[in-house]
């Protein structure tokens, strides 16, 4: 019989620590970026309150002084910080300010819930693979503005919404979750948008939990490899 040395045993234990996948999902510190209404933000808060997402929204950043999301944050007792894009000379300067606010609230995941600004590498590098966006189409179809109108004009019979990891190009990046929504014969942009939003509110928190779990798993795997 081959004799195991103390070294072999130690290596074996480190590669496959017992109960690795039984760890509870991580408690997340979310920073929400929003430009308007904030119904997705409220849906995330509801999922947290219902115990469906182990997370806390530590700050909301908004760029438009009249955005309703600020009222929603105040009602929930969550700090909301206005960073008006018109006050910044460049997109990088704006993103630098956003990063500073997010860091000061010890955010680890950035959630774009109706954030109507292009991002720069400055923001992406500050939270690698940890910025999620929701878009009202089945990406890669209909990226950019007026996605619901684009879908109606194209005459597709099914559209929906997508949660994806944010990369530099608008509405690109690995897809975490999608929900399909049928286009009905008498649909207007408003009616279709309303049905898509119901699905957005359902999948965003699920996608956040899934992305965080995947990230946790990857981190554990690379930790055991580097220990080895
Ligand atoms: C959503 O439809 C989202 O897909 C898009 O902006 C909208 C934001 O809605 N990116 P709300 O502000 O969360 O109500």
- Sorting pLDDT into bands at 50, 70 and 90, what band is 96? very high
Q: Could you tell me if 142 and 172 are in contact, meaning their C-beta atoms sit under 8 angstroms apart?
A: no
pTM of the prediction?
0.88
- Rounded CA-CA distance 34/69 in Å is 7
Which residue, by CA, sits nearest to atom 2 of ligand 1? 136
Q: Could you tell me if 130 and 124 are in contact, meaning their C-beta atoms sit under 8 angstroms apart?
A: no
Q: What is the pLDDT of residues 137-194, one digit of tens each?
A: 999 999 999 999 999 999 999 999 999 999 999 999 999 999 999 999 999 999 999 9
Q: Where are the domains of the chain?
A: 26-223
- Sorting pLDDT into bands at 50, 70 and 90, what band is 218? confident
Q: What is the pLDDT of residues 42-87, one digit of tens each?
A: 999 999 999 999 999 999 999 999 999 999 999 999 999 999 999 9
38 lines ligand 1 (CB under 6 A): yes
Ligand 1 centre to CA of 5 (Å) is 58
- Rounded CA-CA distance 17/140 in Å is 39
Give the mutation target among 60, 134, 178 for probing the ligand 1 site: most ligand atoms within 8 A of CB: 134
Which residue, by CA, sits nearest to atom 5 of ligand 1? 114
User: In the CATH scheme, what architecture does the domain 26-223 have?
Assistant: 3-Layer(aba) Sandwich (3.40)
Ligand 1 centre to CA of 114 (Å) is 4
Catalytic residue among 105, 135, 164, 201: 135
The yes-or-no answer on residue 135 being catalytic is yes
Arithmetic mean of pLDDT, 97-109: 98
Ligand 1 centre to CA of 146 (Å) is 11
């Amino acid at each position: 019989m081959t004799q195991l040395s103390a070294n072999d045993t130690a290596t074996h234990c480190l590669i496959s620590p017992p109960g690795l996948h039984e760890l509870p999902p991580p408690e997340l510190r979310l920073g929400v970026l929003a430009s308007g209404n904030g119904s997705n933000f409220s849906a995330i808060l509801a999922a947290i309150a219902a115990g469906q997402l182990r997370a806390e929204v530590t700050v909301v950043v908004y760029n438009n002084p009249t955005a309703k999301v600020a009222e929603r944050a105040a009602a929930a007792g969550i700090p909301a910080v206005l960073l008006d894009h018109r006050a910044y000379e460049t997109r990088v300067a704006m993103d630098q300010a956003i990063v500073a606010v997010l860091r000061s609230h010890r955010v680890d995941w950035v959630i774009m819930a109706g954030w109507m600004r292009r991002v720069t590498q400055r923001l992406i590098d500050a939270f690698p693979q940890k910025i999620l966006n929701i878009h009202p189409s089945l990406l890669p179809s209909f990226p950019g503005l007026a996605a619901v109108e684009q879908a109606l004009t194209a005459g597709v019979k099914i559209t929906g919404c997508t949660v994806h990891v944010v990369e530099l190009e608008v509405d690109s990046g690995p897809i975490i979750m999608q929900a399909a929504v049928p286009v009905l014969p008498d649909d207007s942009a408003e009616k279709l948008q309303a049905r898509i939003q119901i699905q957005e509110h359902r999948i965003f928190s699920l996608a956040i939990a899934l992305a965080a779990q995947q990230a946790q798993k990857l981190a554990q795997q690379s930790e055991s490899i580097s220990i080895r």
